[in-house]
Structure 1
């Protein structure tokens, strides 16, 4: 019986997690932009026929950036809930969270360049 409770609990957790994904996509403009970029990169990957290893790197980068954006959104929401008025420390926390997103986005752009520049160069040869 406890195994069934465990499975039901996991299914509920997954449901809440997907609810969070849809909330992020519906309410966060930056995540919507990142989702559009992810779709574009997925189409580019199909067009250029990137390798399995390149798909792994691209998928990891997309997930990392979007997941980090979700964590940034969470940090900002918690900070605003705790201290709704402007506060220097809260601003500092928000800046750090946003900086983490930028770091992952820059690294992901570099990975994208490593993957796609050779394919794009091949088009012009």
Structure 2
């Protein structure tokens, strides 16, 4: 079997990643909420004409929340696959993963407040 080119491998990788992102959005309620919030703050960014720096911070905050939420989902699905029954150790792992989402969500909220409170009031 011939080895595939680097370019073909990259294209396949992007396809797998896109498939994963679509699956995440379609199947996970928390991501659906976060995508909705993403759309709201993006619209707010246009409405309030935020600066380039504010856009960068907002995009990074959104990406961080969505990315960590995706990793949290992967941890939860993997944990459930490995141990379908209730297990204290698996619960501990899942709680830590959910806690990471909470921490970045709090930070993203603070970034949003810093950007928008002066513009709203």
Shorter-chain TM-score: which interval?
over 0.9
Q: Give me the whole-angstrom Cα distance separating, in 1, the residues matched to 2:44 and 2:117.
A: 12
* TM-score, structure 1 normalization: 0.94
Deviations along 1:52-73, one digit per CA (max 9) or x if unpaired, are 0000000000000000000000
Per the alignment, residue 19 of structure 1 pairs with: 19
Q: CA RMSD in A?
A: 1.3
Cα deviation for residue 99 of structure 1 reads 0.2
Per the alignment, residue 32 of structure 1 pairs with: 32
Q: Secondary structure at the match of 2:42?
A: helix
Deviations along 1:86-112, one digit per CA (max 9) or x if unpaired, are 000000000000000000000000000
* Structure 1 ranges of 4+ moved more than 4 A: none
* TM-score, structure 2 normalization: 0.97
Question: Aligned pair count?
Answer: 120
Per the alignment, residue 66 of structure 2 pairs with: 66
Per the alignment, residue 9 of structure 1 pairs with: 9
Cα deviation for residue 79 of structure 1 reads 0.4
* Structure 2 residue runs without a partner (length 5+): none
Alignment of 1:36-47 (within 5 A): 36-47=36-47
